[in-house]
Structure 1
Amino acid sequence: MSVFPHPWKALRELDTVAVSWRDDLPPPVHAVTNGRNIIWMAKNLLQVERRCALQHELIHIEHGHTCRQNSRIEAQVRQITAERLIPARLLFRAWKAALSVEEWAESLWVTPAVLADRLDHLSPDEQHTAEQLKASARERGAD
């Protein structure tokens, strides 16, 4: 059993949704969906980008978003994506070992953008834990 959330497994459980690999999505678009039964995903993505894009599009499908969404909805979907891909238990465990944001994101198997979305929406309890970790790092002489 994987310790990480697994959007590809979630996709397999949705037997009515297919992924179509495309080489014509305009950058920086990684993937889009019709909100019902298909996700178009760029062929040239790294595996971590595919994982994050898939989770994002699955949330659009889950919420029935069938057309282009406004920035408020996109921000909500990014927040949900980050929360699903990075549970708190993994977020803080990886934080203690990471030497940079990029390394932290890589150890969580997400993009730095998804990690940033997760950090932007910490719960009050998570914020408290983050402050404790920062204080502990300062005591050890790290940033």
Structure 2
Amino acid sequence: MSTFPHPWRTLSQLDDVVVCWRPNLPGTKHAATDGRNIIWMVKNLLQVERRCALQHELIHIELGHTCKQDARIEAQVRQITAERLIPARLLFRAWKAALSIEEWAESLWVTPAVLHDRLDNLSPDEQHTAEQLKASARERGAD
């Protein structure tokens, strides 16, 4: 079993969903979906960007979002995306070794934006663990 969640494996199990590669999409979008069976994705994305965008669009399909969503729904989908791509066990293991948010995100195979979404939505138990890690780092003299 893979250590990291794998949205491409999830996609491969969905017989009726296809990815259509595009040179670009409106605005700064990396991907979009019809909410049923098509995901449009910008073809020149980095692999980590593709992974994060695919997970995001798969969640829209899972939730049946067939049209543009408001900011509240997008925030919910970003939160679910971050939680699925970064389980707590991986989040805290990688935290101990990272020197920057970019390095931390890279070690988790996500974009810094997805990592920020995960950190902004920690559960109470995860917040407690984070505080313990911060205190431990302070005791060791780390920032």
In the aligned structure 2, how far is the partner of 1:137 from the partner of 1:101?
16
* Alignment match, 2:66: 66
SS at match of 2:24: coil
* Alignment match, 1:109: 109
In the aligned structure 1, how far is the partner of 2:24 from the partner of 2:131?
44
In the aligned structure 1, how far is the partner of 2:35 from the partner of 2:21?
16
- Say how many residue pairs are matched: 143
In the aligned structure 2, how far is the partner of 1:24 from the partner of 1:74?
20
Question: Match of 2:25, as an amino acid?
Answer: L
SS at match of 1:97: coil
More off after superposition, 48-57 vs 24-33: 24-33
1:94 aligns with 2:108: no
In the aligned structure 2, how far is the partner of 1:24 from the partner of 1:88?
33
Please give the residue correspondences for 1:19-30 in structure 2 after superposition, counting only pairs within 5 Å.
19-30=19-30
> What stretches of structure 2 of length at least 5 have no aligned partner?
none
After superposition, the CA RMSD in angstroms is 0.6
1:45 aligns with 2:45: yes
More off after superposition, 52-61 vs 20-29: 20-29
* Alignment match, 1:134: 134
* Alignment match, 2:120: 120
SS at match of 1:24: coil
Deviation at 1:26, TM superposition (A): 2.9
Deviation at 1:34, TM superposition (A): 0.1
Deviation at 1:27, TM superposition (A): 4.0
Question: Match of 1:109, as an amino acid?
Answer: W
Deviation at 1:35, TM superposition (A): 0.2
Q: TM-score, normalised by structure 2?
A: 0.99
Q: TM-score, normalised by structure 1?
A: 0.99
Question: Match of 2:84, as an amino acid?
Answer: R
SS at match of 1:68: coil
Deviation at 1:44, TM superposition (A): 1.0
Instruction: Please list every run of at least 4 consecutive aligned residues from structure 1 whose deviation after the TM superposition is greater than 4 angstroms.
Output: none
> What stretches of structure 1 of length at least 5 have no aligned partner?
none
